[in-house]
Structure 1
Amino acid sequence: MFTVEAPQMTAPPAAGLRDRAVDASALAYLQVDRAGVIRDWNPAAEKLFGWTRDEIVGRRLTDTIIPPALRSAHSAGFARRLVGGDSGGLGHPIEVPALHRDGSELRISMNVDAAEDGFAAFVSDQTDGHRAQQELQRSNTLISAILQHTTAMISAKDLDGRYLFVNGEYERIFQVTAADMVGRAEADLVSASVAAVGRANDAEVIDSGVAKTVLEEVPFGDEIRQYLVTRVPLTDPDGSVYGVCTIAIDDTQRRRSADVIAAGEQRFWNTVNNAPGMLYQFRAEPTGESSFTFVSDGCREIFQLDPDQIVESAAQVIDMIAEEDRDSFAASVAASALTLEPWDWRGSVIRHDGTRRWLCGMSRPHREADGAVVWDGMLLDRTLERSTELDLEAVRNDLADLVDRLAVLSATVPAGPEPVAELAHLVTEKDQEALFDMWRTALRRERTDSVLAGHEGRLLVRLRPHGTDEIGISCFRLDGPA
């Protein structure tokens, strides 16, 4: 009698051993037939490409792991191998791009060999190495660009003081070429005394293994130039020093201009501290803490506080904000921090002596790398302006009250096609047409004044458009006959 297990033993022991070895391999293994269809796929291939064996077997290799831009070239090469027996690349590792299931691009190395009815390949992932090589190349390009285009003179010397390298600025200053300088000493370019100073500083860095920065003077004809020179020990992986890298920055002009710079700085501070209002820098941390990092002397007049007091504690200023203005202040700062739009605020503060100051604040924010938002701006004291506004508002109110009491007619009415009856009844028949002309002018949203004949004497008629659909009327009786 047959058992159910007997039909499963279809492969010879050697084939089973080979399959187990392929499945256990850390290298991805795949096999395609002559139609380019995948017929075998081991666990390492599943891990590398993201496709399970059940998903991938039966799919075309070209449509699965070959990047779209390379599929035509792959298909052409595959056809050449089938038709012409092209064996180029077989048995040798080749590095090519490939496609992961999620769409990301891989870099793989593969050994392709002929197999029964097709080809087989063992594949290793070279993506990280390829990326590292690209990063290294980019880094080398960047370093080379910096070395050759910086305005600092950069050189490297061995323990005996012989040049290993000089950069483009060094070549320009001393009118030499990098190739000519290799193997030469500093004494070949400058006087013995100057070279001795440099050599002594080199020796100190070599002996200590610690970088050192000094000021050195180098004569160029009748001129002596001053260089800020930093020497850094060059070390092998084991830490042993094999040379010195020197970075020299021409500091002559800066030192010659020290007095000019000091005078300019003084002018700057004079301008800052004499500017109207208070100049400041305000910083809000991601944690919610806030502080003033700079405050000009104008703070004394506005807040009756010294700059150091405000820098030490921003709360001293914020706590002075009038109760009715605190919500608008907080909302304006939050909105500016979120959108990075300019901050603009009007409000008042109550100083410690009980007096109120009306302020106008404006600044431009920017976000720093750590997430903090920094505002640079000014606070202007508009107390006098605000007092004037309040006085003018009181005058306007008094004037409006006076007008209401003196006017024969004072009203705001809908902007109809004809003058309202209350106005028309005040004007005599002979000036009705003039009144209509005035009304049409007001309908065009223009202000108009005119003296018209009234039943009890002359009338000063004023029409003022209000909004889009109203007209303000004021009529005053003038002395004299009509």
Structure 2
Amino acid sequence: MFTVEAPQITAPPAAGLRDRAVDASALAFLQIDRAGVIRDWNPSAERLFGWTREEIIGRRLTDTIIPPALRSAHSAGFARRLVGGDSGGLGHPIEVPAVHRDGSELRVSMTVDALDDDGFFAFVTDQTDGHRAQQELQRSNTLIAAILQHTTAMISAKDLDGRYLFVNGEFERIFQVTAADLVGRAEADLLSASVAAVGRSNDEDVIASGTATTVAEEVPFGDEIRQYVVTRVPLTDPDGSVYGVCTIAIDDTQRRRSQDAIAAGEQRFWNTVNNAPGMLYQFRAEPSGESSFAFVSEGCRDIFRLEPDEIVSSAGRILDMIAEEDRAVFAASVAESAQTLEPWDWRGSVVLRDGTRRWLYGAARPHRQPDGSVVWDGMLLDRTRERHTELDLEAVRTDLADLVDRLAVLSVTVPAGPEPVSDLAHLVTEKDQEALFDLWRSALGGHHADGLLTGHESRLLVRLRPRGRGGIAVSCFRVGGPA
């Protein structure tokens, strides 16, 4: 009989398994001895801190990944742990600042444990991006709060039942209420029943459709009725369900009275999802003359075809786009607003990088900082379509004038002599020459003169218009059948 011996299976050394596991770990691993010298360093630590294993082994931890400003405190704490045997924090993750080999700052989460007499080891994860994102979020919230409180628009938020959740400073000023008194109450507690009913109906339309709307509404203030352009935006949870309505109301009374029209859809307001038309911004001018944008909303993409961070990193990206013929007026308006702290108001055009021209309307409210700088919270609106409409109307008027010239029997501009121009007099019969002279004398007196006279072949409409520097524009049309 043959016998087969079972192969002998021997376990690999435990230290070998540990070394392979540490080297394969996505977590940075480091080990220091009781003198604070680095004794082990895995590939993930190389990627996180920029030091290769060969470079780092034998260096002191304090001199490599600890920020210079914290090195003294780290050394003192490390000494206390060695002398007093303090085990506080061991085995638990802590978030601390660190430094990369290139000097850039890191934020890491570190779990430290003891190796008895051999020192300490730690597993480390990079938390830098999350820490920066949290700081950016905090800055964004501060900027949003500043814009909400300094904008001239009234901004409020209500729940599905119409109870106020939030009102901004302008809302408090206009209605002489405080947010603390108003939150939890309904619009009917503030306005008349009829006005509140209109607002509630518009709120319900936004809640039902889930889309933003812009409407004109009237609000009585004593004996005066003021008109507001009101934009309502649905407030939604992450799952898309509507939980309330954000309302932005802009006083439109003066514009309507003066007929200085701006498009009804051009509203300045800010909300957390950048659903506003135009671009909201915070602009800063230093006493030294330097200027910068601390914040711009995502509406800059539609107006300037630039990303917000491009404008924040360099204000010149859009200031250089202002059309050459509008730069002097722009600079003067900013300088006057900075000196008087009166609201800034500007209309002009910009030329984009591809040569496209856009007409803009800008408005902002300035406030001076303790260091002497001036900060504007404001908006820019695109009024290109309105401007194009104006240009189209001018073209239509030009075409109409051209058509009149081509239909007229006579269309000339002549010096304002004592008698009607001969070309016109020859078209009018003898019996209406006196009537023609009356029209001519009226035009000489600076008045428009129109009359139906008898011509040799048909009735004539004669139109005389005074022109500058002693001229008279003469137009004559045939009307009706033979005279």
- Scaled by the length of structure 1, the TM-score of the pair is 0.51
Partner of 2:30: 30
Alignment of 1:3-152 (within 5 A): 13-115=13-115, 116-152=117-153
Q: Secondary structure at the match of 2:74?
A: helix
Residues 94 and 170 (structure 1 numbering): CA distance in 2 closer, same or farther, change over 3 Å?
A: same
Q: Aligned AA for 1:88? A: G
Q: Aligned AA for 2:76? A: A
Q: CA–CA distance in 2 between the matches of 1:18 and 1:368?
A: 64
Count of matched residue pairs: 264
Q: CA–CA distance in 2 between the matches of 1:113 and 1:12?
A: 25
Partner of 1:459: none
Q: CA–CA distance in 1 between the matches of 2:233 and 2:260?
A: 31
Q: CA–CA distance in 2 between the matches of 1:75 and 1:184?
A: 58
Partner of 1:317: none
Q: What is the CA distance between 1:255 and its match in structure 2?
A: 2.0
Q: What is the CA distance between 1:88 and its match in structure 2?
A: 2.8
Q: In 1, are the aligned partners of 2:162 and 2:186 still within 8 Å (CA)?
A: yes
Q: What is the CA distance between 1:170 and its match in structure 2?
A: 1.0
Q: What is the CA distance between 1:257 and its match in structure 2?
A: 2.8
Partner of 1:436: none
Q: Aligned AA for 2:23? A: D
Could you tell me which of 353, 370, 379 is aligned with 1:370? 353
Q: CA–CA distance in 1 between the matches of 2:61 and 2:183?
A: 54
| Deviations 1:180-202 (CA, angstroms, capped at 9, x unpaired) | 22221100000000001111111
Q: CA–CA distance in 2 between the matches of 1:144 and 1:76?
A: 42
| Deviations 1:123-181 (CA, angstroms, capped at 9, x unpaired) | 00001100111111111111111111211111111111111111111111112221222
Q: Aligned AA for 1:189? A: L
Partner of 2:364: none
Q: CA–CA distance in 1 between the matches of 2:177 and 2:240?
A: 32
Q: CA–CA distance in 1 between the matches of 2:102 and 2:260?
A: 64
| Deviations 1:233-277 (CA, angstroms, capped at 9, x unpaired) | 11222222221110001111222233799xxxxxxxxxxxxxxxx
Residues 260 and 136 (structure 1 numbering): CA distance in 2 closer, same or farther, change over 3 Å?
A: closer
Q: In 1, are the aligned partners of 2:255 and 2:261 still within 8 Å (CA)?
A: no
Partner of 2:162: 161
Q: What is the CA distance between 1:85 and its match in structure 2?
A: 2.0
Partner of 2:235: 234
Q: CA–CA distance in 1 between the matches of 2:65 and 2:350?
A: 43
Q: Secondary structure at the match of 1:62?
A: helix
Q: What is the CA distance between 1:62 and its match in structure 2?
A: 0.9
Partner of 1:432: none
Q: CA–CA distance in 2 between the matches of 1:241 and 1:373?
A: 39
Q: CA–CA distance in 1 between the matches of 2:85 and 2:12?
A: 30
Q: Aligned AA for 1:38? A: I
Residues 60 and 260 (structure 1 numbering): CA distance in 2 closer, same or farther, change over 3 Å?
A: closer
Partner of 1:351: none
Q: CA–CA distance in 2 between the matches of 1:368 and 1:104?
A: 39
Q: What is the CA distance between 1:373 and its match in structure 2?
A: 11
Q: CA–CA distance in 2 between the matches of 1:205 and 1:217?
A: 19
Q: Aligned AA for 1:65? A: I
Partner of 1:256: 257
Q: CA–CA distance in 2 between the matches of 1:370 and 1:88?
A: 60
Partner of 1:386: none
| Deviations 1:320-374 (CA, angstroms, capped at 9, x unpaired) | xxxxxxxxxxxxxxxxx9xx999xxxxxxxxxxxxxxxxxxxxxxx996738699
Q: CA–CA distance in 2 between the matches of 1:110 and 1:180?
A: 47
Q: What is the CA distance between 1:12 and its match in structure 2?
A: 7.7
Q: Secondary structure at the match of 2:216?
A: strand
Alignment of 1:171-210 (within 5 A): 171-210=172-211
Q: Secondary structure at the match of 2:220?
A: strand
Structure 1: segments with no counterpart, 5+ residues: 1-10, 262-336, 343-365, 375-482
Q: CA–CA distance in 1 between the matches of 2:239 and 2:25?
A: 37
Residues 128 and 371 (structure 1 numbering): CA distance in 2 closer, same or farther, change over 3 Å?
A: farther
Say if 2:245 is the partner of 1:244.
Answer: yes
Residues 255 and 341 (structure 1 numbering): CA distance in 2 closer, same or farther, change over 3 Å?
A: closer
Q: CA–CA distance in 1 between the matches of 2:81 and 2:224?
A: 74
Q: CA–CA distance in 2 between the matches of 1:98 and 1:186?
A: 53
Q: Secondary structure at the match of 1:74?
A: helix
Q: Aligned AA for 1:24? A: A
Residues 119 and 259 (structure 1 numbering): CA distance in 2 closer, same or farther, change over 3 Å?
A: closer
Q: CA–CA distance in 1 between the matches of 2:164 and 2:137?
A: 25
| Deviations 1:284-335 (CA, angstroms, capped at 9, x unpaired) | xxxxxxxxxxxxxxxxxxxxxxxxxxxxxxxxxxxxxxxxxxxxxxxxxxxx
Q: CA–CA distance in 2 between the matches of 1:158 and 1:260?
A: 33
Q: Secondary structure at the match of 1:247?
A: strand
Residues 140 and 51 (structure 1 numbering): CA distance in 2 closer, same or farther, change over 3 Å?
A: same
Partner of 1:225: 226
Q: Secondary structure at the match of 1:71?
A: helix
Q: Secondary structure at the match of 1:172?
A: helix
Q: CA–CA distance in 1 between the matches of 2:89 and 2:256?
A: 66
Partner of 1:437: none
Q: Aligned AA for 1:118? A: G
Q: Secondary structure at the match of 2:62?
A: coil
Q: Secondary structure at the match of 1:123?
A: strand
Q: CA–CA distance in 1 between the matches of 2:52 and 2:104?
A: 17
Q: What is the CA distance between 1:87 and its match in structure 2?
A: 2.5
Q: Aligned AA for 1:173? A: I
Q: Secondary structure at the match of 1:207?
A: helix
Q: Aligned AA for 1:54? A: E
Q: Secondary structure at the match of 2:61?
A: coil
C-alpha RMSD over aligned residues: 2.7
Q: CA–CA distance in 2 between the matches of 1:259 and 1:367?
A: 21
Q: What is the CA distance between 1:215 and its match in structure 2?
A: 1.1
Answer with 236-245 or 147-156: which moved more: 236-245
Residues 24 and 368 (structure 1 numbering): CA distance in 2 closer, same or farther, change over 3 Å?
A: farther
Q: Aligned AA for 2:212? A: A
Q: CA–CA distance in 1 between the matches of 2:58 and 2:260?
A: 82
Alignment of 1:384-463 (within 5 A): none
Residues 36 and 341 (structure 1 numbering): CA distance in 2 closer, same or farther, change over 3 Å?
A: farther
